[in-house]
Amino acid sequence: MEILDRLPTSDRLQRLRLGVDQQCLLCGDGIESRDHLFSKCAHSKQIWSSILQMCSIERDALVWNAELQWLCANLKGKSLLVFSLKLAWSTFVYHVWEERNRRKFCSVARSGDSLLHCIREDVKIRVQIKPIVILDVNRQLCVAWGIP
């Protein structure tokens, strides 16, 4: 849904003339759209940047289309890094959308650190069940994800 830009974000609902407040509920600074929620929003951008750092990827988070292109071009193969980064991306998108919905419908907000913790735990659980060869690069990655 998010790749096809079919999530019911405020900008899409406004285009359907459903009169909604378009302000981003995560940062309060910007019009809520897919591109804003998952790449331009300061709240989300900080979380994704932290994930990239955990994976020892030294670059800034990109805008939505550029990030997708980068992910498609670079997430190939069966390494632990590729596996965990794919999981991290899908978990990141899930938790950002979940957080947006919590704030919109339940008026409950979590911090960026709290979201990052949830993402880390989800990735950790899934990586732990994968048989992996412990290489030095994997050891660093396991430490970053909190895997003993």
Chain residues binding Zn ion by CB under 5 A are: 24, 26-27, 30, 41
Cα 124 to Cα 56: distance, rounded to the nearest angstrom: 16
Shortest distance, CB of residue 73 to Zn ion, whole angstroms?
26
Q: Are 5 and 34 in contact (CB under 8 A)?
A: yes
Q: Are 101 and 15 in contact (CB under 8 A)?
A: no
Shortest distance, CB of residue 83 to Zn ion, whole angstroms?
29
With tokens 């951008």, the residue in question is 45
94 burial level (CB within 10 Å; 0-12, 13-18, 19+): middle
Shortest distance, CB of residue 51 to Zn ion, whole angstroms?
17
In the bound state with Zn ion, the residue whose beta carbon lies nearer, of 34 and 55, is: 34
Question: Quick count: other Cβ atoms within 10 Å of Cβ 26?
Answer: 22
In the bound state with Zn ion, the residue whose beta carbon lies nearer, of 27 and 61, is: 27
Shortest distance, CB of residue 129 to Zn ion, whole angstroms?
34
In the bound state with Zn ion, the residue whose beta carbon lies nearer, of 27 and 147, is: 27
Q: Are 37 and 24 in contact (CB under 8 A)?
A: yes
Shortest distance, CB of residue 30 to Zn ion, whole angstroms?
5
138 burial level (CB within 10 Å; 0-12, 13-18, 19+): middle
In the bound state with Zn ion, the residue whose beta carbon lies nearer, of 96 and 141, is: 96
In the bound state with Zn ion, the residue whose beta carbon lies nearer, of 20 and 75, is: 20
